[in-house]
Chains A and B, each alone.
Chain A
């Protein structure tokens, strides 16, 4: 479904990504593991069209999408759920969700259904639908960010560190929800530092270090890999 071939991204002299090869098949849940600054977010931004790639091939659903603008990528079905729970703090929860459905703004019935689905997935959002998004707790903000991304009816959803800054019990819920979204038919690409939890739900994984992919494989294989256990799981 998504295929990156030899992708290189440079910011001036600095090479942020060097020949990244990565693919995600339809229905898969793939995780990118890596420390802060490894290049996970740069990969995401490159796929979503926020970064320009200097070299390489970017394909989505069999189409060459290199050079597509971010809004065009969303229309193609690639939706990024931003890191740091970026929300419209002054807007209400419901307005935030509605903004997520921007690309489908003319399909009123579909939007109404997506909204109902989002509330079904996160009942707490329905309860707080008129509250400003800025007043939500960290976990609720993350739920809202995911709910908003889902409003665009993505074929592929990219989630950047959904567990960041959340209490352990909420992290667990978050991952089970991500798995649920994936079971519903949405392909998921996940960036995580929490290798333990992420590998439990993922089909496959890639390890990113200094802008390159240093390791890849089935999640069980990665889970049992000594280096990964040392570096990311700490056991």
Chain B
């Protein structure tokens, strides 16, 4: 069991499941739509995780950048009549440019000041979208965002096709995310998270690295936002709101901040819990609240972290005898060697 759901097998299993998933729900547009939305959120949260979980900089402007991506696609397609694909590429670029400019200023602050500063930046983005009627449609929102243009024979006019399109982007996003985290760049980010001072004394330019990590993180948000605009075909200023960014944060923390599977687990769990608890309406917070508190207290690394520590415990019990013997042997060696040193 432990081997079945981790490592390469686990990845293939999840991928297979997500590819086959629509076959069971061919007639159920609603289920596919919810799943597609959660995939989009996972992309955004992967970006948040890279910055907050690995580089250790908690940006609360993430929903703002998500909205910038969404509105870029929305405005470019509805007002400028641009092709969706071109608009999506431009949306990511626009988000990155704005992220770069804001990141230079934001990263002059540290720790909770950084969080507060980005919270304000996020709110300003929200206000800008909400009040700039002429460009964004203000509180009425942007209506009639087109579906992605067809590529050759492939059309995106059904829920299933949108599902697979977003799934493709999700897989690419995760792949790139994993590559970053497992590279020297990823270890550099982790070094900065552990101690900026220590990272500096190893010759790491922390300012540049934090800025790059920030821009990559908002690129994820921009891509997710662009996809979201085309999926829902209607966007309002609330996607830049504070509630949105705290949803992201909750999904990330419950799933496991600073883990590769955390964003997936957390988002899936909460999106589906929300769906099941629809009938409770506002009271569903009575269920979310305690879950969040329990997880933060007992599993600071979220469900993904809890899974790994339980797995270690389980495997540990099984191999305890073996390990104890080899440990004693290695201790013998150690003491001999350190004497030689």
Interface residue ranges, A against B (CB under 8 Å) = 48-50, 69-71, 74-75, 79-80, 82, 86, 88-91, 95, 98-100, 102-103, 105, 122-124, 127, 139-140, 143, 148, 152, 169-170, 173, 177
Do A48 and B201 touch across chains, with their CB atoms under 8 A apart?
A: yes
Verify if B131 is at the interface (C-beta below 8 Å from A): no
Do A99 and B341 touch across chains, with their CB atoms under 8 A apart?
A: no
Complex alpha-carbon distance, A103 and B204, angstroms: 7
Instruction: Report the interface size for chain B: residues with CB under 8 A from the other chain.
Output: 24
Verify if B197 is at the interface (C-beta below 8 Å from A): yes
Interface residue ranges, B against A (CB under 8 Å) = 184, 187-188, 190-191, 194-195, 197-198, 200-206, 330, 333-334, 337-341
12 extra interchain contacts, Cβ-Cβ under 8 A, other than A71-B203, A82-B201, A90-B194? A49-B200, A70-B197, A71-B204, A99-B187, A102-B184, A102-B203, A123-B337, A123-B340, A124-B341, A127-B330, A127-B333, A170-B338
Complex alpha-carbon distance, A139 and B339, angstroms: 12
Provide the residues of chain A in CB contact with B339, threshold 8 Å: 169
Instruction: Report the number of A-B residue pairs with Cβ-Cβ less than 8 Å.
Output: 75
Provide the residues of chain B in CB contact with A105, threshold 8 Å: 184
CB distance from B210 to the nearest CB of A (A): 13
A-B interface, 6 closest residue pairs, ranked by CB to CB distance from nearest:
A74-B203, A70-B200, A103-B203, A71-B205, A71-B203, A80-B201
Provide the residues of chain B in CB contact with A123, threshold 8 Å: 337, 340-341
Do B341 and A74 touch across chains, with their CB atoms under 8 A apart?
A: no
Complex alpha-carbon distance, A79 and B341, angstroms: 23
Provide the residues of chain B in CB contact with A86, threshold 8 Å: 195, 198
Do B202 and A102 touch across chains, with their CB atoms under 8 A apart?
A: yes
Known: A123-B340, A124-B341. A88 touches B333 (CB 8 A): no
Complex alpha-carbon distance, A123 and B202, angstroms: 23
Query: B338 contacts which of A49, A50, A139 (Cβ < 8 Å)?
Result: A139
CB distance from B330 to the nearest CB of A (A): 7
CB distance from B204 to the nearest CB of A (A): 6
Chain B residue at minimal CB-CB distance from A143: B341
Do B201 and A70 touch across chains, with their CB atoms under 8 A apart?
A: yes
Do B341 and A88 touch across chains, with their CB atoms under 8 A apart?
A: no
Chain B residue at minimal CB-CB distance from A95: B187
Do B188 and A102 touch across chains, with their CB atoms under 8 A apart?
A: yes
Do A173 and B338 touch across chains, with their CB atoms under 8 A apart?
A: yes
Provide the residues of chain A in CB contact with B330, threshold 8 Å: 127
Complex alpha-carbon distance, A83 and B205, angstroms: 21
Query: A124 contacts which of B191, B194, B337 (Cβ < 8 Å)?
Result: B337
